[in-house]
Structure 1
């Protein structure tokens, strides 16, 4: 269990150097080289309170790694492993017991079988099942390397929402609330490689050796060069829009000679693993000229569609200043695949049309609503003070300390909220949910409320039960007035 005690999320690597990946269909689980650096290879850890020896693993789609009873192939022993959302939070099929084996772990299901990464020929290749290791030759198939994953700060709130939506003792009334279409009132902005290439028309790529990716004058070779001002170090960026996975960014890089940066199949040196990177103009723009930028801090790794990385080599000649594509196996060469991105030319965007002025509610509107069931709380001194035109339609004030909390109010009697409303804004310091609840009661003048958040994927409301996310992340919440029949909401 020590592999999982101090980690929030992990990646699980098989004996085939592939990773356990959640497929986009939100059902299938498989092994993959290509998706190793994506969110699909990341599994959130949930500890089971009733049994400290087992854990649950949740995919980026909020679904649990599940040992099903469905045979993978009729007549064979292995059974399917899927992503599921079981109705019962105590379903043993989603619980796994880590069993240490040296520096690796085996993940044991409740029926005594183990999570297994299958090899061999199709249909077994890249599949994942749960089975017993009956032979010595397949024992390695149930061994997994555990790699702790740090969640970027800008993704913390998104993963926090995923946590609070799962198997909390939420009342049926709240967990079933669906008002109108799926929520669009709250969207989490995730940082990605697009931030580094935002509006980029041309870039320079600086290697770990403080040299730039350089297109040689022979219009074929690629090397490294210290002169950052040289035109040969400028690469035009083309975004590939027909990628099979919209969540993955693919680019092409074109040199000053209008030739593409190409991952060739030619060995750089016979007997060595690195292969040549060239400038070419292929007859058809195929995968050899496509690169997937993978962000790592403020740098990127450029990966080919086949799992190799653009690498700036050091050392003695003939390696010095050369550029190849390879998979770095040694710790000392891990930084050779990291590149700084300098944007040297941007795409000028057309100015967006100015939005029409906001409509100011007139007195007739408020008088027509005076008889509504919500009049008692909507006209309270504290609440009506915030309904002024200035606070509702102007930009929210910048908070020097604390976080901005946007909120809208939903009443059990009223039963609706405006999905497109910006909501009201308060400044809140701290991470305690109870303290936030008390402050919102003071702001709205409503007693007996539950503070909820709307989960982006299904549009449902869930009460906040954990601490608020760190780093003063801006939040949008819904204030739910508890039923007059029940003094409190069962959370």
Structure 2
């Protein structure tokens, strides 16, 4: 379990296939794929110590620790099932599912040493099933992922830590391509969005019966942000969205378009105001403050230790995209180094952000940010989501007018020839 630090992110690469474990775009299944520079290839580590044990801490009941992995793209947890794998694959199916009960055996894993290099592990589920790749002898069937109890070299996984960065959240994707003409005749399926606005300290009610909801069609994260901003009466660029995959699931920043699946279902979203303490807290991977904590003592920030770059696999070098010109990252003012946070020392100095030697070797970025003084406005975009949508509609209208004008010219030319 030393390779998995609570709250950090990792990639899992098959030692045989040399491809990465991916959360598929449907948000429901997992597969093996080559792209490394993808949020779908990143997995957040959630250490669970069983009933009675706090997440990330030690427990005396002997029922832990367990390793839970949830997708950095959609927030859902890697799980094993009791359904047979599809033809050509070995063992039982794997999937992505919500963490909606205190005890969900399907999402519990243990990391087992392989006997090879330190970064190579086996992921055991239950009493003897191991996560494995497929397609060793059938190259055209090499994207499947399953669990099996028959020993195989396909069960070895290389753990590639993803270093934490201070560059802020990745930008939300732009508008999706415009729909073809007359597409409104065939309405797209939608899903229920259930949401709540968090307080400035990050607190929000767990029970969804106090949350608001609306019906949303399409997959655009930009459009969803605009709708949520209108409902919470805040400019779109000044909110951050994170998805909660089940009652006990950890929050995951929503910085990709919605999954191409799960239509008719419900997506739970917690809305944070940018520049608040709660926004920085969930970026660190810390659980929200409970009612008891709010009453008895002020909330404290949990500082996670940076992973050591020297122990990462050769392919696991950190990659950081160039900063967006329209974003301003708040200047950290009181974020103590990990060593001082553990020792409980006071008045820590501000740590310097990690740097990469090669600015061109930019790849996936999993981010966190330090604490900034409240009340400092943060400008994240030059225009609101409403203006962005209006520009998109204006471009579509101009295109239609151009096509109509071209059609009229053709008709006039045909009439002249006849």
Measured against the shorter chain, the TM-score band is 0.3 to 0.5
Q: TM-score, normalised by structure 1?
A: 0.35
- Report which of the two has the higher share of helix: 2
Structure with greater contact order relative to length (CA < 8 Å, sep ≥ 6): 2
Q: TM-score, normalised by structure 2?
A: 0.41
